[in-house]
Amino acid sequence: MFTLAHLSDPHLAPLPVPRWSELLGKRVTGYINWQRKRRFIHDSTVLAKIVADMKSQTPDHIAVTGDIANIALPEEFRHGRDWLESLGAAQDVTFVPGNHDVYVAEAANYAARQWGAHMSDDDAIEGFPFLRRRGPLALIGITSGVPTAPFLATGWLGTLQLAGLAETLNALKAEKLFRVVLIHHPPVSQAGRSKALLDAPVLLRIIAAHGADLVIHGHDHVHMLNWLNGPNGTRVPAVGVASASAAFGKDKDAASYHLYRIEGAPGAWTCEVITRGITPDGAIVEQKRFHLIG
């Protein structure tokens, strides 16, 4: 039995005070949005409770699918590194960036510099897709975060990365591992075009051609389960989780995280998913448990 924990969109608070010189372009609208709305949603106490509860479950590995940052100030990346390191060692904690981590063009370098150890493959080579083998799992990290114009939160994978993903998924068939794809944006979403993964149709075609066992994501800050087409009539679950810092009653779904308990072998995998989240009185409790696969 291998236990994978998944949390997403911590949007670390409080936001560092930006310098005037840093409030250029998209950061201006993002900063106003934080001050007016988001700072009341993303609560560091809530996040600390979620993390403490998750650690008490002693998962074998932790996956974080993006949006540590808010408006990608340099200080947010230093805080983000401390937070990632507080979860566990880089080999035990895998991260893929979200749109808020690549909010402005220069931020991609900040993310790579501060968080690179959590998004590199087993040979410590950075870049996407990356591959980590952990027990029966193959964790494949891809990045959908790209800088966009103000008021847009779209994602983009790009031809090169998608080709790499197809090659990786195909090559892994021979290894008989449970293939988990980590991505920030949902492959399927009702959230509208301004938040969508714009090249999702290509991603869906790759999953349909080469298969995967599980796709996990964040971005919409809600619990989601969509079944994607895999090869030969199989289906691939794509599961989204709420923001790990969302105060109860302030966001679409209150803070939670998922535990996946995985065992078996190709053709006979079982995967149970457990949701643990925050209640109105601030306790973290089990909210849902069901067999996703098998």
253 binds Fe ion (CB under 5 A): no
> What is the 3-state secondary structure of 10-64?
CCCCCCCCCCHHHCCCHHHHHHHHHHHCHHHCECHHHHHHHHHHHHHCCCCEEEE
State the minimum distance, in angstroms, from the CB of residue 272 to Fe ion: 26
Tell me the window of 5-13, 31-39, 172-180, 209-217 that interacts with Fe ion (CB under 5 A).
5-13
CA distance 157 to 131: 16
Q: What is the dihedral of CA 41, 277, 71, 80, to 10 degrees?
A: 130
Contacting range for Fe ion; rule: CB under 5 A; set: 3-11, 134-142, 166-174, 222-230: 3-11
Shortest distance in whole angstroms from residue 159 CB to Fe ion = 25
* Whole-number Å distance between alpha carbons of 214 and 223: 15
Judged by beta carbon, residue 195 or residue 266, the one nearer Fe ion is 195
Closer residue to Fe ion in complex, CB, 43/213 = 43
CA separation for the pair 66, 82 (Å, rounded): 15
Cβ atoms of residues 277 and 248 within 8 Å: no
Residue closer to Fe ion (CB basis): 43 or 67? 67
Candidate ranges 1-9, 68-76, 114-122, 132-140; the one touching Fe ion (CB under 5 A): 1-9
Round to whole Å and give the CA distance between 213 and 207: 10
Contact map string, positions 123 to 152, toward Fe ion, x by CB under 5 A: ------------------------------
Q: 39 to 68, contacts with Fe ion by CB under 5 A?
A: 67
Pick the closest to residue 6 from 189, 211, 287, 243 (CA basis).
243
Q: In the complex with Fe ion, which residue's Cβ is closer, 42 or 210?
A: 42
Q: Which of 3, 9, 70, 247 binds Fe ion (CB under 5 A)?
A: 9
In the bound state with Fe ion, the residue whose beta carbon lies nearer, of 67 and 76, is 67
Give min distance, CB of 238 to Fe ion, in A. Answer: 17
Is-cis flag, bond preceding 129, omega within 30?
yes
Count of residues touching Fe ion (by CB under 5 A): 2
CB of 70 to Fe ion, least distance (A): 9
- Residue 249 to residue 94: CA distance in whole angstroms: 29
d(CA 261, CA 160) in angstroms, rounded, equals: 32
Kindly tell me which of 9 and 213 has the beta carbon lying closer to Fe ion: 9
- Which residues inside 63-122 make contact with Fe ion, applying CB under 5 A? 67
How do strand 235-240 and strand 214-217 relate by DSSP bridges? parallel
Nearer to Fe ion, 67 or 253 (CB): 67
Question: Cβ atoms within 10 A of the Cβ of 161, count?
Answer: 18
Query: How near is the Cβ of 219 to Fe ion at its closest, in Å?
Result: 6
Q: Which is nearer to Fe ion, 67 or 213 (CB)?
A: 67
Stretch touching Fe ion by CB under 5 A, among 9-17, 70-78, 84-92, 173-181: 9-17
Do 100 and 71 contact (CB within 8 A), yes or no?
yes
Q: Find the shortest distance in angstroms from Cβ 8 to Fe ion.
A: 7
Residues lying near Fe ion in the complex (CB under 5 A) are found at: 9, 67
